[in-house]
Structure 1
Amino acid sequence: MNDTIRKFGHPATLVADYAHWVVLLRPAQPTLGALVLAAKSEATAFSDLPPAAFTELARVTANIESALSQAVSYARINYLMLMMVDPNVHFHVIPRYDGARSAEGITVADAGWPKAPALNEAHDLTDAERDRLVGWLKSRWPSAAG
């Protein structure tokens, strides 16, 4: 795993593992169910990923959207490729909704709705909250995940 994946808490935050990608629970939750979709490659440019990673990305994003739809019933979903601090290819996946969502004893409001996500107003998860949310999302993940 590359440094970006480790920085986002792998393996404790791992929700789903694929040949070219991992899906991690974002340790700071601007909205409930926020994820990091990270390429396993050392690539620091999206265009440098192997063709198979792009092919697999269709299945990974379909799995993300299916699981998050069940989990938080989002109205919109934002895929943010920021890569300013953490250089390896990754997206912050932010489910968007009006109001708040709750699960596993955790409630998170979408403070930025209906504008850009308020990443600076995220709920920082404790280890126990992280573990509960990882299990909660894994239980909703499509069985065809890698």
Structure 2
Amino acid sequence: MNSTIEKFGYPATLIADFDHWVVLLRAAQPTLGSLILAAKSDATAFGNLPAEAHAELKTVTATIEAALTKAVDYAKINYLMLMMVDPHVHFHVIPRYEGERSAAGVTVPDAGWPVQPDLGAAVKLDGALDDVRDWLKGWFDGGMA
């Protein structure tokens, strides 16, 4: 795994693993269910990813969207490719909703709704990280949590 994936807490934050991508729980939640979608490649530019990674992105995003629909019933979803600090290709995946959502003992309002997400208002999971990860992972495994 590249250093960007490790910085986002892998393997402790791992939600789902694909051939070319990992889905990680974002430790600071601007909305409940916020994720990191990170390429396993060492590429630091989206266009430099192998063609297979681009092709697999269809499956990965469909899986994310199906799981987050069930988990938090989002109204919109934002994929933010910021890459200002962490160099390897990754997206911040932010499900968007009006109001707040709760699970695993954590409540997270969408402070930026209905405009851009307010990343500065993110709820830090700290001691609840494992519980939220396990709850969310259940939706990726096709279960209900």
TM-score band (shorter)? over 0.9
Aligned position for 1:102: 102
Aligned position for 2:27: 27
Unaligned runs of 5+ in 2: none
Distance 1:142 1:67 in 2: 8
Aligned position for 2:137: 138
Distance 2:141 2:77 in 1: 18
Give 3-state SS (helix, strand or coil) of 1:139's partner: helix
Distance 2:56 2:8 in 1: 21
Q: Deviations over 1:93-130 (max 9, x none)?
A: 0000000000011000000000000001100111x311
Aligned position for 1:90: 90
- Residues 38-49 of structure 1 mapped to structure 2, 5 A cutoff: 38-49=38-49
Aligned position for 1:79: 79
TM-score (norm 2): 0.96
Sequence identity (%): 65
1:138 Cα deviation from its structure 2 partner:
1.1
Distance 2:27 2:60 in 1: 20
Give 3-state SS (helix, strand or coil) of 1:88's partner: coil
Matched residue type, 1:94: I
Give 3-state SS (helix, strand or coil) of 1:82's partner: coil
Q: How many residues align?
A: 142
Aligned position for 1:6: 6
1:133 Cα deviation from its structure 2 partner:
1.0
Q: Deviations over 1:75-109 (max 9, x none)?
A: 00000000000010000000000000000110000
Partners of 1:66 and 1:142 within 8 A in 2: no
Structure 1 vs Structure 2 CA RMSD: 0.8
